[in-house]
Amino acid sequence: MFQGMKRRWINSKLYAMENDRLKYVESTMILVKDMVAFPVVRAILPEAIERTDYLLSHSSIVSPMLIGNNDVELIRLSVPANNDLVQLSIFPFFSKDALLSSDMEYCRERIGFAVYAPQNHMIILNTETFETPRFMASTMLHEAGHAIVAEKEGRNNNFAKRTEKERLQEELRMWHFDCKLAFLLGGAYYQKEIGKAVTSVLSARRAGILFHVQTLGPRIGWPLDLCYGSTLSPYAIKNREFLWAIFCELIASDMGLGSDAHSYQIKLVEATYKDWWEKDMDYALSRKK
Ligand SMILES: [Zn+2]
C-alpha cells in the first residue's frame, strides 16, 4: 500500500518533468538543424545531413516511469516522424533520475555528456552538463552517428558483441566527423588557430615528442569557443582542452604520418576509451535478462 503511494508520488514528479525533457531535446534539435544549415557544412560534410535526417525521422523522446514493483520503464513522450522506421529513443537525463534505480544511478555516473546504448537503441543526453546548447547539439550528432552504424550493422536493440578493433575504428570515424564539423563551424579564425597548433604538433613530433598539444597548458581549448560558444564550467573547459588536443592530433597525424596515421589515431582512441568500454560492457552483460 505504502509502496503504491510512494510510486504514484514519484511518478507525479516525473510527469511534471516531461515538459522539461521535451523542451530540452526540441531546443537541441533546433541547434542541430542550425548547424547543418551552414552551406559549407552541407557541401563538405554531407554525413551531417544524413545524421540530422536520421534523428528527425527516427527519434522518439522518452521519459522514465516507475511501474509494478518499482521497476523503471521508459515511456514515449513523442512519436517518430516516421513510425515505420526503427525507433531511436532519446532520453534526456536529469540527475534526479539517478534516484529511481541502480541502472539509473549507473547512468548518472557514466553518462558524461551523452551516450548511445545499442542494446535499446537509445541516446541518453545529459541535460545538466553546463556545456553550451551548441556543444550538446554537436554531441547529439556524434551519438546519432553511432546509432546509424549500429542499425546498418544490425546491432540496434541487441547485445551483439564486437571486436575491440571494430569499436575503435567506429569511434575514430566519429572523431573525424567531430573534428571536421568543428573546423567548418569555427570559421576562418578557428582554422587559423588550429593551423598554428598543428604546426607546433608537427615540429614537436620531428623532435620526437608525441601527443604534444596536451602539454601546452590550461585553456588551450579556447578556440573551440568559436565552434560551440564559450563556457565557464571547469569540467567543460577541461573536456574542451582534451577535445582540442585530439582534433590537433588527428589533423597533424593525417598530415605528417602518412600511412602510419591510422594506427597512431587508433592508439589515441584506445588510450582514451579502453577501460571505460570494458566496464560498460561488463555492466550491460550483467543486466542482460
Ligand atoms: Zn563516440
The least confident of 73-82, 108-117, 205-214 is 205-214
Indicate if the alpha-carbon torsion angle 251, 254, 256, 260 is positive or negative: positive
Q: Express each pLDDT in 56-109 by its tens digit.
A: 999 999 999 999 777 899 999 998 888 889 999 999 999 999 999 888 998 888
Strand-pairing partners, residue 19, are none
CA of 3 to the centre of ligand 1 (A): 39
The answer to whether the CB of 247 falls within 8 A of the CB of 226 is no
Q: Which helix (H) or strand (E) holds 62?
A: strand 59-67
The end-to-end CA distance of the chain, in Å, is 28
pLDDT at 289: 40
pLDDT at 124: 96
CA of 173 to the centre of ligand 1 (A): 9
CA of 9 to the centre of ligand 1 (A): 36
**Cβ count near 256 (within 10 Å):** 16
Judged on CB neighbours under 10 Å (0-12, 13-18, 19+), 270 is: middle
pTM: 0.91
CA of 174 to the centre of ligand 1 (A): 6
CA of 17 to the centre of ligand 1 (A): 28
pLDDT at 203: 87
The least confident of 33-42, 144-153, 161-170, 182-191 is 161-170
CA of 5 to the centre of ligand 1 (A): 40
Q: Express each pLDDT in 92-103 by its tens digit.
A: 999 999 999 888
CA distance 172 to 87: 25
The answer to whether the CB of 256 falls within 8 A of the CB of 202 is yes
pLDDT at 194: 95
Residues 6+ apart with CB under 8 A from 161: 281
Q: Where are the alpha helices (DSSP H) in 207-233?
A: 225-228
Pick the closest to residue 114 from 143, 146, 87 (CA basis): 143
Q: How confident is the model at residue 280 (pLDDT cuts 50, 70, 90)?
A: low
Surrounding residues of ion ligand 1, Cβ less than 5 A: 174
Provide Rg for the chain, Cα atoms.
Answer: 20
Cell, residue 37 = 544549415
- Average pLDDT over every residue of 181-198: 95
Residues 6+ apart with CB under 8 A from 28: 125, 133, 136, 137, 140
Q: Which helix (H) or strand (E) holds 89?
A: strand 88-93
- Residue 279 reports pLDDT greater than 80: no
CA of 168 to the centre of ligand 1 (A): 9
Q: Express each pLDDT in 11-26 by its tens digit.
A: 999 999 999 999 999 9
Q: How confident is the model at residue 111 (pLDDT cuts 50, 70, 90)?
A: confident
- Average pLDDT over every residue of 27-47: 96
- Residue 247 reports pLDDT greater than 50: yes
Instruction: Quote the percentage of the chain above a pLDDT of 70.
Output: 91
